[in-house]
A = this chain, B = another copy of it.
Amino acid sequence: MLNHIGANDIALQEAYNQMDVQRPPRTAEMQVPAESSFKVACSNCNLRELCLPIGLSTAEMNRLDGIVATRKKVKQGGHLFSSGDPFTTLYAIRTGFFKTCVVSEDGREQVTGFQMAGEIMGLDGIVSDHHNCNAIALEDAEVCVMPFNHVEDLSREIPVLQRHVHKIMSREIVRENGVMMLLANMRAEERLAAFLLNLLQRLHARGYSKSELILRMTREEIGSYLGMKLETVSRTFSKFSDEGIIEVKQKNIRILDHEKLQTIFNASTC
């Protein structure tokens, strides 16, 4: 059930359990203009198991290297793409953290997801050739630019890639099914527990601790995603803290009782 709101790395969690990468501190020197870009190769990217299918031959891998046209840096707060922009490419996150959100005519913003390294963005644009949401960096980020025509061309020649693309889209559909369940059926505490567990799972798959995390988004953004007001998010954090389940220090969260969090998440009998 947790997987329903999970990211596109569920099956790969085990493979990454032994990783112990720590995110390097961001320094001023690393912040280059948002539009700068340069050539790269997937075949020696340490995230390739997150983005690409497994079991490719060397020849196929070499062909796939061409799938990433360029990389692109986005500074914190910058838009990778905006609703209404023409759709031409998918993006794979190399570093950084994004939110995607839709905005209704009357200005209400709905965060539809949070994305981290190895996850794919832009799938919403395929149906209408225009993006349907905003993708905004919550910290300085770098993405791989994958022209969709090229993805399709290669998919026709590499069945494993074709299946992989289909799985990524299907996974997003299933994730959103889980969010619907969360929004329609769960109470505030269950939502927040589900949110934290999901983030922990995805971060753990990337080599981070299971018992600590840094929230890259504000309380308001969490609230938007979970269908509750920022005050309720804050109160629920406080409640968890009072109960000794977590320790909250601003954006730093330490998990003290993972099991209890799981129990809250599973709670039907409230």
List A residues at the B interface (Cβ < 8 Å): 1, 4, 11, 102, 104-108, 110, 112, 123-128, 132-133, 152, 155-157, 159, 162-163, 165-174, 176-181, 183-185, 224-227, 266-269
Contact = CB atoms under 8 A, between A and B. Distances in A.
Nearest to A269: B106
A268 to B, nearest CB: 3
A107 to B, nearest CB: 6
B126 A167 contact: yes
A128 B226 CA distance: 25
Total identical chains: 2
A177 B102 contact: yes
A106 B266 contact: yes
7 contacts: A1-B105, A11-B128, A125-B170, A126-B169, A127-B174, A152-B163, A169-B173
Nearest to A165: B166
Nearest to A122: B170
A3 B170 CA distance: 20
Given A162-B152, A173-B123, A177-B133, A184 B105 contact: no
Contact of A104 (B1, B102, B106, B173): B1
Q: Which of A11, A163, A169 has the most CB of B within 10 A?
A: A169
A226 B185 CA distance: 10
A106 B263 CA distance: 11
Given A132-B177, A169-B173, A179-B180, 6 more contacts: A106-B266, A152-B159, A169-B169, A176-B179, A184-B226, A185-B227
B180 A110 contact: yes
A176 B269 CA distance: 28
A15 to B, nearest CB: 16
A181 B104 contact: yes
Top 4 nearest A-B pairs (CB, nearest first) are A106-B268, A184-B227, A126-B170, A176-B176
A174 B106 contact: no
B170 A123 contact: yes
B176 A268 contact: no
B107 A184 contact: no
A124 B173 contact: yes
A83 to B, nearest CB: 10
Given A104-B268, A106-B268, A267-B106, A124 B162 contact: no
A177 B257 CA distance: 32
Contacts of A167: 126-127
